[in-house]
Amino acid sequence: MTCIILYSGKGGVGKTSLSAATAVRSAALGRRTLVVSTDSAHSLADALAAPVGGEPTRILPNLDALEIDVNRELASHWGIIQEWLTRFMSFQGVDEAVAEEMAILPGMEELFSLLKVRAFAEKNAYDLIVIDCAPTGETVRMLGVPEILGFYFKRIFPFQKTVLKGVRPVAKRMTDMPLPSDDVLGAVQAIYKELEGLTPLLQDPKRSSIRIVLNPERMVINESQRLYTYLNLFGFPVDAVVANRVLPPEARSKYFDNWFALQATHLAEARRDFEPLPFFEARLFDREMVGVELLDEFAREVFKDQDPGAVFFHERPVEIKREGGGYAMYMRLPFAEKDRIQVWTHGDELVVSVDNQRRHVLLPRSLAGRRLMGAAFAEKRLRVGFGGREHDGR
């Protein structure tokens, strides 16, 4: 079984260095390892100090690296749909160049790269796949895209598919409005199918985990906390936090005194805030993290004798429990504040929104159709109660 570990965090905090270090160490421990970059601004090759191609490239025994051609993945999955959406929007009066841009959801490029990763995971050619992500915002968008696409696909395309057969010949005579061809609908269905398998894979805490990389600085920590909330909201397990660029004692000097104090405060706070997640510290080296030897040393320093390719923490962000006569759903929303959370149901979906991020949780059969019995937020968890079934009249 292939495990997947994905590093995310604010720009420049050390995601690429830690991904590469984890992969180098894992390979040294005898696991067949692939390290993949889904960031269109690739820098894996720079970190590994070796050429890395658009197909797995051998770096060391047991270690392959891959810089995915993000645009190629996008074109092969979405090209035909994008073309149609562009024509459709131009027809509606949107400028063609703008329409072309609008036909791509933010985060989509990275998402299609993940589909490639999934294909590798299914072939079982590797024990571990480490993913080096684009900075936070992109990760959140990338992981949110399947939900958004699923939302539209379910509502728009099945309907279109059934009505189109009858409408297309008539519509052709009456209007020039571009209607999606069977090829377009086929492409939509193919994506939908592929995506369906991706999210459960990334949400299975036994197989996949996300690690948050941060630096001990206020703004970086704040962004990491928001990232953690969103990951929990979307149901993606997180198994560790790595605080990188921690000043080592050797760096003590009058000039850095204030930085030492700041870092100590921030580290203590971050450790407490992310409890009970495992929390690792990585010192600021006296050089850039380039080359497999240094990366191996980096990983050994950070993870000590633990295997960085193992999942460190297995708690599920969303849990459903039987309570009394009904059910309760618990969702971990660390760092979210009570008045920023809204909850409602819509058909067989529960909608939870925190700030401008919104999640549609497709309710399991045991909960769908049950009456919402209110929501409460305590100890960083949202509890949503479900009572009897609506049609029971109870």
Ligand X SMILES: Nc1ncnc2c1ncn2[C@@H]1O[C@H](COP(=O)(O)OP(=O)(O)OP(=O)(O)O)[C@@H](O)[C@H]1O
Binding site for ligand X (CB under 6 A): 11-17, 39, 43, 135, 244-245, 282, 284-285, 288-290
User: Could you say whether residue 82 binds Mg ion (CB under 5 A)?
Assistant: no
The option from Mg ion, ligand X, none interacting with 332 (CB < 5 to 8 A, set by class) reads none
Amino acid occupying residue 199? T
User: The tokens of 98 are what?
Assistant: 């703008």
Query: What is the residue whose two structure tokens read 């990760």?
Result: 139
Q: Which is nearer to ligand X, 35 or 282 (CB)?
A: 282
The footprint of Mg ion on residues 11-30 (CB under 5 A) is: 15-16
Q: Which is nearer to ligand X, 135 or 146 (CB)?
A: 135
The option from ligand X, Mg ion, none interacting with 288 (CB < 5 to 8 A, set by class) reads ligand X
CB of 304: closest distance to ligand X in angstroms?
16
CB of 181: closest distance to ligand X in angstroms?
39
Q: Which is nearer to Mg ion, 18 or 333 (CB)?
A: 18
Tell me the torsion sign for CA atoms 9, 12, 13, 18: positive
- Main-chain dihedrals φ then ψ at residue 378, nearest 5 degrees: -150, 145
Q: What is the DSSP letter of 133?
A: P
For Mg ion (CB under 5 A), the number of binding residues is 3
CB of 75: closest distance to Mg ion in angstroms?
23
The option from Mg ion, ligand X, none interacting with 31 (CB < 5 to 8 A, set by class) reads none
Q: Where are the beta strands (DSSP E) in the chain?
A: 3-9, 33-37, 57-60, 63-67, 128-132, 208-214, 238-246, 279-283, 318-323, 326-332, 341-346, 349-354, 357-362, 370-378, 381-389
Q: Which is nearer to Mg ion, 111 or 363 (CB)?
A: 111
Amino acid occupying residue 379? E
CB of 285: closest distance to ligand X in angstroms?
4
| DSSP string covering 52-85 | --SS-EEEETTEEEEE--HHHHHHHHHHHHHHHH
Q: Which is nearer to Mg ion, 15 or 31 (CB)?
A: 15
Which neighbouring-strand residues pair with 372? 386
Q: Which is nearer to Mg ion, 12 or 53 (CB)?
A: 12
CB of 264: closest distance to Mg ion in angstroms?
27
The footprint of Mg ion on residues 131-170 (CB under 5 A) is: none
* Cβ contacts of 268 within 8 Å, gap of 6 or more: none
Residues engaged in binding Mg ion (CB under 5 A) = 15-16, 43
